[in-house]
Amino acid sequence: MQIFKALGVFILIAVTFSCERDVINIVDGNQPPPDSTVSYQQRDRYIERVYITVLGRKPDSAEHANARLVIDQDPWDQTVRYNWLQTTMQSRDVSVKRWDDVRSELLEGVDTTAVGILIQSLETILMGSPAEQRPAIRAEIDKLERILFATDSLHQGVYSVRDLHLHAVNNAIYDDINMGAENFVVSVFDHFLYRYPTQFELDAAKRMVEGFQDVLFLQNGSTKDDFLGIFFTSDAYAEGQIRYVYLNYLFREPTTTELQTEKARYQIDYDFKALQSRILTSDEYFTI
């Protein structure tokens, strides 16, 4: 009997001690060291992917070393990555790459030489044309000049990327690629919204492009310029830009929450670089 009593006391003591809470002492101001789980190879891959995405090339040795100096401070800190990217984004090459992508996607890669030759041809026609035809010819020349100087206009802040898109589809070259009002409208919808227009949208947009009054996205218009103005200020266009960034950089569609959050931010000033930067410095992109 004494043995059982002693055993019971032992078990009670053991249970009592096992249930005591650990005491954690917190030292004020003590910060854990930066996360060292990010391999150097992963950091190098990230830097190269960002350069290829925004500049169209890999970094040279000096650029790579400078990037590592910044990112190595704390690879997991998105603010560190964001601040580094803002410095990189100041390069004119960023605007060159953006325009190269746009003209490749929309204008079959037409270069400045071809645009310049077309402008010269129209200027020759302008000099020998009747007075009543000159305003229309002059307007076409102006449209082509906007894309001729697209890179510098974008770099200097004269154009936003949204302006760049509008000018890229509002010229004789794009019209020649997508001949006729229906092809023009379908191409614009397909490229920027990733879908074919509904029958109602197609009919309304065609009528506007052809010079008739109609309603698109709850907005009235009666000219091709009206159609483009309505289209490039629509919620649908903003959503298309967000989808473009997610699909091209993260290789997936944005969630409903991501789409609505980014759309609200983007429509404040249509700052495509800021949209790019948020995705390119995200933990998800960093760890791809």
87-141 per-position pLDDT tens digit: 999 999 999 999 999 999 999 999 999 999 999 999 999 999 999 999 999 999 9
Farthest CA pair distance, the chain: 124
Structure tokens at 142: 């102006």
Contact 96, 54 (CB under 8 A): no
Range of the domain at 51: 40-90
Q: Pick from 90, 120, 154: which residue ends a domain?
A: 90
Is residue 70, in this structure, part of any structural domain at all?
yes
Contact 170, 140 (CB under 8 A): no
State pLDDT tens for residues 69-81. Answer: 999 999 999 999 9
Is residue 250, in this structure, part of any structural domain at all?
yes
Residue 24 has pLDDT above 60, yes or no: no
| C-alpha distance from residue 282 to each of 81, 125, 166 (Å) | 9, 52, 29
Contact 228, 170 (CB under 8 A): yes
What is the helix (H) or strand (E) element at residue 239, kind and residue range?
helix 235-245
Q: How many domains are there within the chain? A: 2
Is residue 1, in this structure, part of any structural domain at all?
no
Q: What's the pTM? A: 0.85
State pLDDT tens for residues 37-65. Answer: 789 999 999 999 999 999 999 999 999 99
State pLDDT tens for residues 199-243. Answer: 999 999 999 999 999 999 999 999 999 999 999 999 999 999 999
Contact 262, 268 (CB under 8 A): no
Q: Name the percent of the chain lying above pLDDT 90.
A: 86
Q: What is the DSSP letter of 88?
A: H
Is residue 82, in this structure, part of any structural domain at all?
yes
Contact 76, 88 (CB under 8 A): no
34 — pLDDT class (breaks 50, 70, 90): low
pLDDT score of 181: 98
Is residue 216, in this structure, part of any structural domain at all?
no
pLDDT score of 25: 42
Give the residue from 174, 199, 197, 198 showing the smallest Cα distance to 186. 197
Give the residue from 181, 123, 116, 126 showing the smallest Cα distance to 147. 116
Residue 30 has pLDDT above 80, yes or no: no
